[in-house]
């Protein structure tokens, strides 16, 4: 900055400069946000749709209401799906749970998780998730607790987080479905 300037201007300069920098940065962010917003929300919709149609292969479309996806195949209702959140070892585990009807699990998919790589992350592998397919909701608990699900070796916290989230949320959602009828 030039040395000889009136002292007011000199004192104000840092404030003015910071204001300009912040204004420019905010404009850039607004611009980038407007460029990427549609792409990001389309991506999230796509991700949900891909997960649902993988779980319900015959799906033609779905409706989303009160946090429950109702799945249709050409007019016939073929099931429900909803999100369950488990309290994992490394944070929230988001699980997409599909129901065949009001008593039976269609399947589960781990939508996102931040478990320990190589250990807890194995909850997302079919070897674990496939165990849920076709189970009665009441049978969803770990085998050491008398249920039908084998926990992953050395990842008991992650395994039981998934099991608890699936069984509790499934019971809540079934109750909610029955009330709505």
Burial class of residue 53, CB neighbours in 10 A (0-12, 13-18, 19+): middle
The answer to whether the Cα torsion of 104, 110, 116, 118 is positive or negative is positive
Residue in 21, 50, 85, 136 binding other proteins, rule: CB under 8 A: 21
Stretch of residues binding other proteins (CB under 8 A), selected from 18-26, 76-84, 129-137, 168-176: 18-26
Strands 76-87 and 105-112: unpaired
Number of residues that bind other proteins (CB under 8 A): 25
Q: Which residues pair with 99 in a beta bridge?
A: 80, 105
Which residue in the set 9, 13, 60, 67 belongs to the binding site for other proteins (CB under 8 A)? 13
Cα 50 to Cα 111: distance, rounded to the nearest angstrom: 11
Nearer to other proteins, 32 or 171 (CB): 32
Interface with other proteins, residue 136, by CB under 8 A: no
Binding site for other proteins (CB under 8 A): 1, 13-15, 17-18, 21-22, 25, 28-29, 32-33, 36, 39-40, 43, 47, 112, 114, 116-119, 154
């Amino acid at each position: 900055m030039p040395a000889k300037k009136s002292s007011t201007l000199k004192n104000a300069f840092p404030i003015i400069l910071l204001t300009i920098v912040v204004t420019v940065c905010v404009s850039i962010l607004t611009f980038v946000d407007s460029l990427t917003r549609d792409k990001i929300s389309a991506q999230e919709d796509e991700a949900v749709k891909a997960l649902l149609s993988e779980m319900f292969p015959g799906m033609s479309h779905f409706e989303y209401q009160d946090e429950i996806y109702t799945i249709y195949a050409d007019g016939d209702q073929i099931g429900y799906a909803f999100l369950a959140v488990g309290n994992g070892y490394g944070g929230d585990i988001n699980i997409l749970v599909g129901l065949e009807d009001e008593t039976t699990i269609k399947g589960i998919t781990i939508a996102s998780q931040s478990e320990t790589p190589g250990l807890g992350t194995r909850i997302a592998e079919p070897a674990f998730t496939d165990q849920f397919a076709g189970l009665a909701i009441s049978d969803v608990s770990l085998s050491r607790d008398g249920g039908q699900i084998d926990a992953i070796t050395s990842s008991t916290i992650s395994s039981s987080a998934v099991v608890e989230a699936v069984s509790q949320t499934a019971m809540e959602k079934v109750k909610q479905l029955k009330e709505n009828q």
